[in-house]
Amino acid sequence: MVNAPVYMDYHATTPVDSRVLDTMLPFFTEYFGNAASVQHRFGWIAKESVEIARKKIAHAVNAQSREIIFTGSATESNNLAIKGAAEAYRSKGNHIITTQIEHQCVLESCRMLERNGFNVTYLPVDRSGMVNINSLTEAVTKQTILISVMMANNEIGTIQPVATIGKLCKERGIIFHTDATQAVGKLPVDVEEMGTHLLSMTSHKIYGPKGVGALYVRSRNPRIAVEPQMHGAGHEHGIRSGTLNVAGIVGFGKAMQLAIEEMEKENGRIFSLRNRLQKRLESISGTTVNGHRIERLPNNLSVTFHGAHADQIMTAMSDVAVSAGSACTSEEIGDIQYSHVLQAIGLNAEAGRSTIRFGLGRFTSEAEVDFAAERIETVVAQIRERTAVGIS
């Protein structure tokens, strides 16, 4: 028995795990101190709790505690990393390299830097969403100071060869930033093995609360400088000012701890469910799975249903929560926007507006997968029949 609506938009956000909520609750009423108030017990408890969470997050990515800077979101972390590094190293060069399928906050940060005199190369990707290392290498100039390539794409799930990119950056003396928002908690993340200098992440993608993110900033071999984007009392080693969200940070730490402890077992379960759903959907004529077939997030499934527009599918299938990609868009087509990611991997306008993203998660069941598959099969057939589109 399935309780509708079924949630399959885990890339957008996740519910807070009850174990995380239980850990957070005392910090709203009992341990409510400001972590910067070091003159009394309330502040001591808050500060200690923040540092415990910081250690958990650092451990999860093989970093030092002092290298984890808390922010308000992954968007803020990406802005801080890209703008902060660009400003800090401007005397060494003004060239930045990224890809065409980055999160919109990365692309918009780069566009802002372009307006301020920086040159940015937006690398294309292949039809699976993978960046070409040879093209990346050829794009490097003597002025290149920063390369930003996301670890795993939020729409099509493709996992980039970040360790190879990290090695290139180390050899060329270039700062390497990766947006690991979708990867942390789902994939092994090791900043040492990946050669990462800056890494963005957030809580609400791993069953923690919204409103808290983090940025890893390498402190040794080499020590990375980041120009603050928020100024105030110099919190977080002077990199990010503002009163810390103690309850949120505590929840983030607990969520990260659970994600790492349960990753291997959970990934096996999710991978099996994803493949079950994929097999059902691929049996529908006129469908195409997007993203890399192997190097892809275990919970991700992006499918184009040729001849059935995403807005029509979602309207008719209100009992299953999915999305037409992400909120990051590049081109408007009628009443629906055409994702810049789908455009970059070669989908035309018609295919782009006929694509659905399924995101499975910790609380997805086999029964829900079967329910969603049945609903999609029915709805797509009805839409195609109504619009008289012939799909062979």
Q: What is the CB-side half-sphere exposure of residue 283 using CA atoms within 13 A?
A: 11
Tokens of 276: 């079950």
For this structure, is 169 an active site residue?
A: no
- Write down the catalytic residue from 105, 110, 169, 328: 328
Q: Which residues are catalytic?
A: 328
